[in-house]
């Protein structure tokens, strides 16, 4: 018996979808397991595994806040990431504008310098930066967590993303702005920026996530619990012997990850496009 062309196509499509679903398992499973285990009690965590908890233990999510100043830490992450995002937007769009639109001797050299920063891992400069921050008296503050991403590889990436976008803006618009009496800052603020919303959104999204997920810098610069950011706090759910308190750790991790995932699911198109635009790391 031979199958019609249409039937073959159908079977192919089903097989295709099923195989993609199998590949998707290790991508989805950790999230499901994380949330479900956040509801389990300590005993069940090590018992017979099941995707759904035998009893839903909501208290885990409250105990998270007893174990550490988790609300404070959550807020720290929010406001630091917000600050990094705003500062990065301003600084990278200023520099990106100059590199894209203004003629000045040394711009090519400057670009080369900045590109080199993209190649260097932050582990290379973290030791001198530690001494620098200590010298400035900024240890155990949030200042370095704003300064280092803004002026590190990530800031350079944002600058290049903005530059890439500004390069494509028509030059005559700026001339029109000059005829209308705008200063250079005015042209940047009232013409270049409003026309570059997609690039600004991309930079904002990537920058926020970058700062939100940062780990090495908080680990090096922060020491007091109430200053911690989320990633540092999550790593810190251990008992007196340094062993993980799994049910609390997973509940806290769920609290940190799920809202971001929620935003991602709503705005997945925009977020994915932002990363595609950057063409660089996250």
Binding to another protein by residue 94, rule CB under 8 A? yes
Q: Which residues are paired to 244 by β-bridges?
A: 238
Site for another protein contains 113 (CB under 8 A): yes
Residue placing its CB nearer to another protein in the complex, 1 or 254: 254
Residues 23-42 contacting another protein, CB under 8 A: 23-24, 26-31, 33-34, 37
Task: Name residues contacting another protein, limited to 71-90 (CB under 8 A).
Answer: none
- Interaction between residue 92 and another protein (CB under 8 A): yes
| C-alpha angle 260-265-268 in degrees, rounded to nearest 5 | 100
The three-state DSSP-derived secondary structure of 167-205 is HCCCHHHHHHHHHCCCCHHHHHHHHHHHHCHHHHHHHHH
R_g (Cα) of the chain, nearest Å? 24
Comparison of 1 and 109: residue with beta carbon closer to another protein: 109
Which of 74, 188, 227, 248 is in the footprint of another protein by CB under 8 A?
188
1 vs 107 by CB, closer to another protein: 107
Closest CA to 92 of 210, 208, 215, 204: 204
Q: At its nearest, how many Å lie between another protein and the CB of residue 33?
A: 6
Task: Report yes or no: 248 and 234 within 8 Å, Cβ to Cβ.
Answer: no
Binding of another protein by 16 (CB under 8 A): yes
Residues 213-252 interacting with another protein (rule: CB under 8 A): 213, 215-216, 219-220, 230-232, 234-235, 244, 246, 249-250
Most distant CA atoms of the chain, gap in Å = 81
Q: Judged by CB under 8 A, which of 39, 70, 212, 228 binds another protein?
A: 212
**Which one of 61, 65, 151, 189 is in contact with another protein (CB under 8 A)?**
151
Work out how close the CB of 58 gets to another protein at its nearest, in angstroms, rounded to a whole number. Answer: 20
Kindly tell me which of 78 and 219 has the beta carbon lying closer to another protein.
219
Q: Which is nearer to another protein, 1 or 269 (CB)?
A: 269
Q: How far apart are CA 250 and CA 222, in angstroms?
A: 23
In whole angstroms, give the CA distance from residue 151 to residue 17: 44
| Sole window of 3-11, 59-67, 78-86, 255-263 interacting with another protein (rule: CB under 8 A) | 255-263
Among 6, 104, 109, 112, binds another protein (CB under 8 A): 104
Q: State the CB neighbour count (10 A cutoff) for residue 157.
A: 23
Which is nearest to 157 in space by CA: 216, 91, 98?
91
Residue 126 CA to residue 122 CA, distance in Å, equals 6
Distance from C-alpha of 210 to C-alpha of 272, rounded to nearest angstrom: 14
Residues 160-179 that bind another protein (CB under 8 A): 170, 172-173, 175-176, 178-179
């Amino acid at each position: 018996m031979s199958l019609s062309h249409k039937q073959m196509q159908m079977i192919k499509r089903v097989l295709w979808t099923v195989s993609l679903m199998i590949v998707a398992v290790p991508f989805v499973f950790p999230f499901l397991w994380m949330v479900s285990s956040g509801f389990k009690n300590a005993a069940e965590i090590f018992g017979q595994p099941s995707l759904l908890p035998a009893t839903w233990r909501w208290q885990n999510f409250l105990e998270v806040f007893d174990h550490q100043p988790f609300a404070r830490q959550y807020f720290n992450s929010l406001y630091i990431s917000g600050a990094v995002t705003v500062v990065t937007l301003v600084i990278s769009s200023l520099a990106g504008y100059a590199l894209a639109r203004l003629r000045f001797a040394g711009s090519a050299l400057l670009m080369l310098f900045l590109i080199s920063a993209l190649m260097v891992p932050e582990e290379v400069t973290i030791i001198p930066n530690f001494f620098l921050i200590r010298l400035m008296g900024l240890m155990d503050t949030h200042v370095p967590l704003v300064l280092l991403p803004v002026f590190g590889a990530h800031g350079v990436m944002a600058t290049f993303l903005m530059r890439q976008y500004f390069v494509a803006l028509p030059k005559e618009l700026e001339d029109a702005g000059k005829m209308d009496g705008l200063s250079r800052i005015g042209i940047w603020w009232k013409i270049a920026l409003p026309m570059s919303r997609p690039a600004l959104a991309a930079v904002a999204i990537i920058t926020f996530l970058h700062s939100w997920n940062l780990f090495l810098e908080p680990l090096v610069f922060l020491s007091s619990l109430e200053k911690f950011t989320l990633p540092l706090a999550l790593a810190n759910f251990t008992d007196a012997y340094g062993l993980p308190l799994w049910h609390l750790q997973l509940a806290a991790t769920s609290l940190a990850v799920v809202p971001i995932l929620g935003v991602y699911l709503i705005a997945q198109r925009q977020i994915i496009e932002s990363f595609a635009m950057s063409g660089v790391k996250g």
